Amino acid sequence: MSAGNELQPSGEKMRQAIRWFSEEIQSCPQKNRHEVMREAEIRFDLSPRECEFLHSKFCDNAKKK
């Protein structure tokens, strides 16, 4: 996999998970990102690799801000 592919999630369930996660965080900003992400992982039956990708892009980066 090239570096360019890492920035674009593949598969419909990844798109749905990202969309759901974003909507959930926007509607309930007080929720913990890691908890919301864990729910998305279960809800959309994501693989460990997909989970790692989402955590690196949406949870780990939040700590740096």
- Full DSSP string of 6-62: HTS--SHHHHHHHHHHHHHHHH-TTS-HHHHHHHHHHHTT--HHHHHHHIIIIIHHH
Confidence tier at 1 by pLDDT (50, 70, 90) = very low
Q: Say which residue the tokens 């892009």 belong to.
A: 57
Give percent of the chain with pLDDT exceeding 90: 55
What six digits make up the tokens of 36?
């919301």
Report the predicted TM-score, pTM, of the whole model to 2 decimal places: 0.72
Domains contained in the chain, number: 1
Q: How much is the pLDDT for 38?
A: 93
7 within a domain of the structure (yes/no):
no
5 within a domain of the structure (yes/no):
no
52 within a domain of the structure (yes/no):
yes
Domain extent, residue 29, equals 13-64
**DSSP secondary structure letter of residue 1:** -
